[in-house]
Amino acid sequence: MRIAASLVAPLLLAGCMVGPNYVRPTADVPANYKENPNFSLAQPGDAIAKGRWWEIYGDPRLNSLEEQVAVSNFSLKAAQARFEQARAGVRITRSALYPTATGSLAVSHTHASSNAPLVTSTTNYNDFLLPVDVSWEADVWGRIRRTVEASRSEAQATAADLASVQLSLQSELALDYFALRGLDAQEQLLNSTVVSYGKALELTETRYRGGLASAVDVAQAQTQLETTRAEAIDIGVERTQFEHAIAVLVGKPPEQFSMAPFPLTEAPPAVPAGVPSELLERRPDIAAAERRVEEANANMGVARAAYFPAVTLSGAGGFQSAVISTLLEGPGGFWALAGQAAETLFDGGFRRGTSEQARAAYDQAVDSYRETILEAFQQVEDNLAALRILGEESSTQDGAVAAAEHSLSLSITRYKGGVTNYLEVTTAQSAALSDEVTAVNLLSRRLSASVLLVKAIGGGWDVSKIPPI
């Protein structure tokens, strides 16, 4: 053991890690968002900060569905399994830092030929062997440590991928949920309009029987009623598709899931986007891309270490005896130590190609990291703009709805007074219904933009949630 220590100690003292040490790549980060010039340093809401971002909408049914995604969605479970594989891979690569020891027990009985050369008088003998073999690659140049570094970075990137999958599934559920509720609101509007059109048809038929309206007026009222009724029925196609999509997201067969109508009425809550520099810490996809840059950097070190000799130490020891009763006695012991340094003298450019490949992979990872950051900025800007513009449009649309309703009221009054025909009424009815449907759709789009903004800023996630591994 003293001899082994004397051989190993100089190697450990002289050991170094070849290859570049990791430095996080720089990225062009603006001071503020273009669509958020009046940003104040208000912190995100507590629900967002804790990762339960859907609670800002104050909808218990949405809260319940989001909780089911975390425990029942199979895509999320698959992502969790991928992370477990990557974490186990770190244990595998880390094991190369330690010696490998194998032991065995061999028993044999030999009968030697009496005519064989160098045969003693004993031609029958037993051999009991209890060896232990130890081998260890001394990580003098840091090849194994760089490999562990790369494996650990990949595992952390996979953990961030898991968070990305979870955030995508949660936001997809919220989008489908609000879209379904928007359809419920649209269906409710159409059904109430059907009732109004039914009353208008009764009025027209009464006037027709009294000679105050023509058959054309009745036909127009009937057409308007049936067309609107058909539109209300048609909404059921899209609604059932959203309902089925939600069922799959929460891990249930569509046959076992249903949602009662729940028309959309509330406006989206305020979502503080923060500043662009925070986005680098709050987006799991950015964190995953950054971790893969470190992985590629470590792989350059692995490729560089191949230019240096591989130093291997080995040893063997144990007991051997012809009689099992004396196997573990002192004279039966044996041991041996050996060391080897092997260097590749010629490989036809293999190591050079490997190094160039590792360098190119690093450059690709850096470019992908920076592209991910740019795409994140774009997504935040897109949804900030959408919320601002849709909010302005919604206010204008409310005025259009009020004007259309007033116009319809005037047209009905004029028709009852015999001033105009029913065509004017149907025209006003169509305009009013169209404006009201547009207002409902705008509300649904604003809520969707709100969800997408929460997703774009990371949904309350941050890099502190990446496990150290």
Between residues 162 and 419, which one has the greater pLDDT? 162
Asked whether 187 and 235 are in contact (CB, 8 A), the reply is yes
* Helix (H) and strand (E) counts in the chain: 10, 5
How do residues 47-101 score in pLDDT, each as one tens digit? 676 789 999 999 999 999 999 998 899 999 999 999 999 999 999 999 999 999 9
| CA 71, chain centre distance (Å) | 15
Q: Over range 135-154, report the average pLDDT.
A: 95
pLDDT value of residue 42: 43
Name which of 231, 262, 233, 232 is nearest 246 in CA terms: 262
Nearest in space to 56 (alpha carbons), one of 457, 466, 441: 457
Q: What is the pLDDT of residue 88?
A: 96
Write the pLDDT tens digit of every residue in 73-86. Answer: 999 999 999 999 99
Q: Each residue of 289-301: pLDDT tens digit?
A: 999 999 999 999 9
For the chain, which domains are there?
A: 16-99+140-311+351-465 (1.20.1600.10)
User: Exposed, middle or buried: residue 431 (CB in 10 Å: 0-12, 13-18, 19+)?
Assistant: middle
| 132-136, 189-193, 318-322: least confidently modelled range | 318-322
Is the pLDDT at 1 greater than 70? The verdict is no
What residues does 106 pair with on adjacent strands?
129
**CB–CB of 453/271 below 8 Å?**
yes
* Section 15-37 average pLDDT: 87
pTM over 0.75: yes
Residues making up the chain, counted from first to last: 469
Contacts 24+ apart (CB under 8 A), 85-89: 85/158, 86/151, 86/154, 86/155, 86/157, 86/158, 86/159, 87/155, 87/158, 87/467, 87/469, 89/151, 89/154, 89/155
Which candidate, 165, 144, 5, 3, places its Cα nearest to that of 83? 165
Whether 41 shows a pLDDT value over 50: the answer reads no
If pLDDT is split at 50, 70 and 90, which confidence band does 10 have? low
Which phi and psi (to 5°) does residue 159 adopt? -65, -40
Is pLDDT above 60 for 377?
yes
Who contacts 345 (Cβ-Cβ below 8 Å, separation ≥6)? none
Residue range 314-356, pLDDT digits in tens: 999 999 988 888 888 888 889 999 999 999 999 999 999 999 9
Q: At 144, is the pLDDT very low, low, confident or very high (cuts 50, 70, 90)?
A: very high
Over residues 205-220, the pLDDT tens digits come to 999 999 989 999 999 9
Q: Which range (3-17, 18-32, 154-168, 389-403) has the least confidence?
A: 3-17
Model pLDDT, residue 324: 85
- Say what the pLDDT of residue 249 is: 96
pLDDT at site 36: 78
- The overall average pLDDT reported for the chain is 91
pLDDT at 130 over 70: yes
* Banded pLDDT at 6 (limits 50, 70, 90): low
Query: What kind and span of H or E run contains 124?
Result: strand 124-138
